[in-house]
């Protein structure tokens, strides 16, 4: 049987999210590189995988998916017994996990993603950083992290007492931000800091970072 295919590149945060999930689930896959500098993601055949022209895209058997979080949701539901479950069987626990999955998308990612762009990606391409955008989004992210600090005094992980998809979805943005001035926002909150140390130490995540470094 042909392996699962992820079309993307390791520096892409959304691609990293899917790679982390596949590794955590101990699933075999092939990473199909997309030459984004040549604009391959804006042309066919890539557009038939993701009409929005963004990585990653996922293919397995007759399934073609895009949107990193939809891909991870498929993997955890399709392979509950493989690797780390990262979801709950209990519907109330799953409801709380659902809250934190939404929080990552609706509260954390908008500010964190803009900071990753300004401080992680723009410098790589020699583009000028906007101090106003950085300041505005550091303030927004700080407020989100105050909520996380409280949540993590009550629960070891965001989505419950063990590592779930809600934690995993944060890893790519955290990776870039921990290598930037934004690190101070995480380190000044002890529970957030301990949570980051814990989730970034997972062997699956080390493998994603190694793929990024090799890229
Ligand atoms: N919400 C999408 C975001 C995908 C996304 O923004 N991908 C970026 C790389 S991380 C991309 O392809 N950017 C190129 C573009 O938008 O043209 C997901 O989670 O998959």
The CB of 68 under 6 Å from ligand 1? The reply is yes
Domain 4-83 CATH superfamily: Glutaredoxin (3.40.30.10)
In angstroms, rounded to a whole number, what is the distance separating the alpha carbons of residues 5 and 49? 11
Closest CA to 159 of 101, 106, 90: 101
The CB of 83 under 6 Å from ligand 1? The reply is no
pTM for the model: 0.97
- pLDDT for residue 38: 97
Domain ranges (residues) in the chain: 4-83, 91-205
Q: Mean pLDDT, to the nearest integer, of 26-35?
A: 97
Beta bridge partners of 160: 157
What 3-state DSSP class applies to 180? Answer: coil
How many C-beta atoms surround the C-beta of residue 23 within 10 A? 20
- pLDDT for residue 1: 72
Give the tens place of pLDDT for each residue, 54-88: 999 999 999 999 999 999 999 999 999 999 999 99
Fold exhibited by the domain 91-205: Glutathione S-transferase Yfyf (Class Pi); Chain A, domain 2 (1.20.1050)
Pocket perturbation via mutation, ligand 1, pick of 54, 66, 165, 215 by most ligand atoms within 8 A of CB: 54
In angstroms, rounded to a whole number, what is the distance separating the alpha carbons of residues 151 and 101? 14
Give the tens place of pLDDT for each residue, 124-183: 899 999 999 999 999 999 999 999 999 999 999 999 999 999 999 999 999 999 999 999
- pLDDT for residue 214: 93
Closest CA to 29 of 53, 51, 61: 61
Q: Mean pLDDT, to the nearest integer, of 45-53?
A: 98
Instruction: Judge if 4-83 and 91-205 fold alike in CATH terms.
Output: no
The CB of 50 under 6 Å from ligand 1? The reply is no
């Amino acid at each position: 049987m042909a392996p699962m295919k992820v079309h993307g590149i390791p520096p892409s945060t959304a691609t990293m999210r899917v790679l982390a999930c596949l590794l955590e689930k101990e699933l075999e896959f092939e990473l199909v590189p997309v030459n984004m500098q040549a604009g391959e993601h804006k042309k066919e055949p890539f557009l038939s995988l993701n009409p929005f022209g963004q990585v990653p895209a996922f293919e397995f058997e007759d399934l073609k998916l895009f949107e990193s979080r939809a891909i991870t949701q498929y993997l955890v539901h399709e392979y509950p017994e493989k690797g780390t479950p990262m979801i709950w069987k209990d519907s109330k626990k799953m409801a709380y996990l659902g809250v934190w999955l939404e929080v990552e998308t609706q509260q954390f990612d908008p500010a964190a993603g803009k900071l990753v762009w300004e401080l992680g990606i723009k410098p790589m391409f020699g583009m000028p950083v906007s101090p106003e955008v950085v300041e505005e989004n550091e303030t927004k992210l700080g407020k989100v992290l105050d909520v996380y600090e409280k949540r993590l005094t009550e629960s070891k992980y965001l989505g419950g007492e063990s590592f779930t998809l809600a934690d995993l979805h944060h890893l790519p943005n955290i990776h870039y931000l921990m290598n930037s001035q934004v690190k101070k926002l995480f380190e000044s909150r002890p529970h957030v800091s301990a949570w980051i140390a814990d989730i970034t130490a997972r062997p699956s995540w080390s493998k994603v970072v190694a793929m990024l470094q090799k890229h």
